[in-house]
């Protein structure tokens, strides 16, 4: 069993560690602030049901004596600490008809690791990969590293830092999510352009399937048949358990510049972002916030849309690129604030901890404020819910030609659905908030990300969100967007994913799974039916 698992316990309900739960007094202060700021919520504080009060059904299956060391049937986790143990567990599951669910950080927001596997299984086993958390090998010449799949963001970056290197994949879930989980779900990360998904940082993948080890050769690029890695990327655990991977890493950036650029309207900002996304400048940060999002995250002046723009390089100053980008932004009415950062190189190595701050480290400038709010969002969400505010998100991608109409339709549907689900008026003071930002942008279109803040129905929050989510999902795919840009499909997105996926591809994927997992034990119910 991994020692790290006992040291600090994760919350059973909510984001972060048990010891990080805000106190009653802190929550009550937050509730007052929320009510003042939003005009709803905050009339009372409800804390999560304590773990002791939760009745869990007894496990339906009993592991054989030979594997019992690997299993924990209390309310926490079960670990395999090497591939032989993983194989043994998979073998037992296949033999006994037990669903096997690979588990990384457990941060799925789409039911990706929930044991909703249907009645065709004797039980479900969650295979926690947390003990496989090492950087095994570093190739500084090719800028690549072999890393175990269970490594969480901070642990992975800490180990790479010793070599002056970084993966620079910082999804919002960075603190708890794992490399294997990122690959299985095609996670979106730090870079707003170019290397948006983890897909682009993967050099080769090793996965255990019931039919043997699926491991691609370590190559910078190959044109030999369809890419084996690309079939594992996004496979969400249905084809195999990813155990390790070679990823492309980088020298830590020594030149960094960032700036907030205000626009009168989201539309003007979107046109500026389109030009930037098509310019070939490839900024590392290029996130457009609408006025509501900007207000909530204190990123910019009231009523303005704000573009959070940044360039970084380990190789050369980025002042020239920033200048060209600002000129482009001004051409669309953008009003840049002060450019902050490093024009002269920072020392190549150092003890400076440079992971994204995970909590409590606010920023003194608009860009820092936004960055802080971005990373604190999962924590804030728990506080919102405790204070009676429903807080959730949905995200997509769409081509530029359809964006304006898409955005209009989706926001209209969302506002109506939120108001209905909350029993309030869609507009006016104290009405629900719907905000939008671009998390990633491409030459051919943006990836819009929507955040909802609305009065919660106490005790009915899940049903309330399900109602809203179903309505907005219909609107998103009806207007031509993808059901998910980087949140994955899991079990929750299935109804819409099934309608968007080419039917022959669904057949091909089902057959591929059958070929490598003949007993159908691997994470049944995500992506395809068992």
The H or E element spanning position 202 is: strand 202-209
Residue 441 φ/ψ, nearest 5 degrees:
-135, 145
Residue 431 φ/ψ, nearest 5 degrees:
-85, 165
**Per-residue contact string for residues 1-40; x = within reach of a second copy by CB under 8 A:** ----------------------------------------
Q: Among residues 99 and 328, whose Cβ is nearest to a second copy?
A: 328
Length of the chain: 530
Q: Which stretch binds a second copy (CB under 8 A): 3-11, 128-136, 146-154, 277-285?
A: 277-285
Q: Which of residues 355-414 bind a second copy (CB under 8 A)?
A: 397-401
Written as one string, the DSSP assignment of 296-322 is HTT-SSTT-EEEEEEEEESSS--HHHH
Strands 124-128 and 99-103: parallel
- CB–CB of 49/56 below 8 Å? no
Alpha carbons 464 and 457: distance in angstroms, whole number: 7
CB of residue 509 to a second copy, shortest distance in Å? 7
Q: Which two tokens stand for residue 103?
A: 């588990």
Q: Among residues 462 and 508, whose Cβ is nearest to a second copy?
A: 508
Alpha carbons 172 and 221: distance in angstroms, whole number: 29
447 DSSP β-pair partners = 440
3-state SS, residue 330 = helix
Among 185, 139, 131, residue whose Cα is nearest residue 155: 131
From residue 521, how far is each of 14, 114, 124, 154, 516 by CA, in Å? 28, 14, 9, 31, 11
Q: Among residues 78 and 477, whose Cβ is nearest to a second copy?
A: 477
3 state SS for 508-521: HHHHHHHHHCCCCC
Residues 476, 117, 171, CA angle at the centre, nearest 5°?
Answer: 50
Q: Exactly one of 9, 462, 515, 529 binds a second copy (CB under 8 A); which one?
A: 515
CB of residue 494 to a second copy, shortest distance in Å? 10
Q: Which of residues 431-450 bind a second copy (CB under 8 A)?
A: 440, 442-447
The CB-side HSE value for 272 (13 A sphere, CA atoms) comes to 33
Alpha carbons 516 and 519: distance in angstroms, whole number: 9
Q: Among residues 128 and 395, whose Cβ is nearest to a second copy?
A: 395
- CB–CB of 147/213 below 8 Å? no
Q: Which of residues 87-146 bind a second copy (CB under 8 A)?
A: 139, 141-144
Residue 186 touching a second copy (CB under 8 A): yes
DSSP letter, residue 335: E
**Per-residue contact string for residues 54-83; x = within reach of a second copy by CB under 8 A:** ------------------------------
Q: Among residues 462 and 515, whose Cβ is nearest to a second copy?
A: 515
Q: Exactly one of 105, 188, 260, 310 binds a second copy (CB under 8 A); which one?
A: 188
Q: Which stretch binds a second copy (CB under 8 A): 290-298, 408-416, 458-466, 475-483?
A: 475-483
Q: Which of residues 227-256 bind a second copy (CB under 8 A)?
A: 227-228, 230-236, 239-240, 248, 250-251
Q: Exactly one of 33, 212, 331, 408 binds a second copy (CB under 8 A); which one?
A: 212
CB of residue 289 to a second copy, shortest distance in Å? 19
Q: Among residues 31 and 321, whose Cβ is nearest to a second copy?
A: 321
Size of the site for a second copy (CB under 8 A): 99
3-state SS, residue 470 = helix
3-state SS, residue 70 = helix
Q: Among residues 20 and 480, whose Cβ is nearest to a second copy?
A: 480
Residue 425 touching a second copy (CB under 8 A): no
CB of residue 164 to a second copy, shortest distance in Å? 13
CB of residue 236 to a second copy, shortest distance in Å? 7
Residue 219 touching a second copy (CB under 8 A): yes
Q: Exactly one of 108, 173, 216, 258 binds a second copy (CB under 8 A); which one?
A: 216
Q: Which stretch binds a second copy (CB under 8 A): 25-33, 298-306, 466-474, 477-485?
A: 477-485
CB of residue 191 to a second copy, shortest distance in Å? 11
CB-based contacts of 71, cutoff 8 Å, min separation 6: 63, 78, 125
CB of residue 368 to a second copy, shortest distance in Å? 23
Q: Exactly one of 50, 57, 221, 347 binds a second copy (CB under 8 A); which one?
A: 221
Q: Exactly one of 282, 342, 346, 355 binds a second copy (CB under 8 A); which one?
A: 282
Q: Exactly one of 11, 116, 163, 501 binds a second copy (CB under 8 A); which one?
A: 501
CB of residue 518 to a second copy, shortest distance in Å? 10
Residue 196 touching a second copy (CB under 8 A): yes
Residue 508 touching a second copy (CB under 8 A): yes
The H or E element spanning position 441 is: strand 433-442
Q: How many CB atoms lie within 10 A of CB 523?
A: 30
Q: Among residues 225 and 423, whose Cβ is nearest to a second copy?
A: 225
Q: Which two tokens stand for residue 16?
A: 């972060």
Alpha carbons 244 and 131: distance in angstroms, whole number: 12
Sheet strands (E) in 443-485 = 445-455
Q: Which of residues 304-333 bind a second copy (CB under 8 A)?
A: 313-316, 320, 324, 328
Q: Which two tokens stand for residue 362?
A: 């606010």
Among 185, 194, 278, 191, residue whose Cα is nearest residue 233: 185
Q: Among residues 256 and 372, whose Cβ is nearest to a second copy?
A: 256
């Amino acid at each position: 069993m991994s020692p790290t698992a006992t040291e600090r316990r994760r919350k059973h309900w909510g984001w972060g560690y048990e010891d990080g739960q805000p106190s009653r007094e802190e929550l009550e202060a937050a509730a007052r602030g929320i009510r003042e700021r939003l005009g709803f919520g905050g009339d009372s504080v409800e804390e999560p049901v304590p773990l002791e009060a939760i009745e869990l059904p007894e496990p339906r299956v009993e592991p054989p004596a030979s594997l019992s060391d690997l299993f924990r049937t209390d309310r926490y986790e079960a670990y395999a600490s090497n591939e032989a143990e993983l194989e043994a567990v998979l073998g037992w599951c296949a033999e006994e008809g037990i669903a096997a669910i690979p588990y990384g950080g457990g941060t799925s927001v789409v039911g990706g690791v929930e044991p909703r596997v249907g009645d065709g299984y004797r039980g479900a086993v969650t295979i926690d990969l947390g003990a496989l958390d090492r950087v095994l090998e570093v190739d500084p010449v090719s800028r690549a590293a072999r890393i175990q799949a269970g490594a969480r963001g901070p642990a992975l970056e800490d180990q790479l830092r010793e070599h002056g290197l970084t993966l620079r994949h910082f999804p919002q879930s960075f603190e708890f999510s794992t490399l294997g989980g990122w690959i299985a779900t095609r996670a979106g990360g730090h870079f707003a352009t170019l290397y948006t998904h983890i897909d682009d940082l993967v050099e080769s993948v090793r996965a255990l399937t019931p039919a043997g080890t699926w491991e691609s050769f370590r190559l910078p690029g190959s044109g030999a048949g369809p890419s084996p890695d690309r079939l594992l990327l996004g496979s969400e655990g249905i084809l195999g358990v990813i155990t390790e991977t070679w990823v492309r890493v980088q020298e830590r950036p020594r030149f960094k510049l960032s700036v907030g650029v205000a626009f009168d309207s989201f539309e003007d900002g979107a046109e500026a972002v389109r030009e930037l996304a098509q310019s070939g400048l490839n900024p590392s940060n290029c996130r457009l916030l609408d006025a509501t999002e900007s207000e909530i995250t204190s990123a910019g002046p009231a009523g303005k849309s704000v573009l959070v723009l940044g360039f970084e390089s380990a190789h050369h100053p980025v002042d020239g690129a920033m200048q060209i980008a600002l000129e482009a932004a001004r051409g669309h009415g953008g009003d840049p604030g002060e450019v902050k950062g490093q024009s002269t190189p920072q020392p190549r190595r150092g003890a400076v901890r440079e992971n994204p701050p995970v909590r409590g480290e606010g920023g003194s400038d608009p860009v820092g404020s936004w960055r802080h709010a971005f990373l604190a969002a999962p924590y804030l969400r728990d506080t919102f819910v405790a204070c009676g505010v429903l807080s959730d998100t949905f995200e997509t991608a769409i081509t530029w030609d359809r964006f304006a109409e898409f955005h209009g339709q989706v926001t209209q549907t969302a506002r109506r659905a939120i108001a209905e689900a909350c029993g309030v008026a869609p507009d006016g003071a104290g009405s629900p908030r719907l905000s939008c930002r671009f998390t990633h942008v491409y030459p051919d279109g943006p990836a819009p990300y929507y955040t909802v803040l609305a009065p919660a129905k106490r005790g009915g929050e899940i049903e309330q969100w399900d109602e809203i989510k179903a309505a907005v999902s219909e609107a998103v795919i009806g207007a031509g967007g993808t059901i998910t840009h980087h949140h994955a499909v899991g079990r929750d997105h299935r109804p819409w994913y099934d309608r968007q996926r080419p039917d022959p591809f669904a057949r091909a994927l089902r057959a591929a799974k059958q070929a490598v997992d003949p007993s159908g034990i691997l994470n049944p119910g995500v992506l395809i039916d068992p």
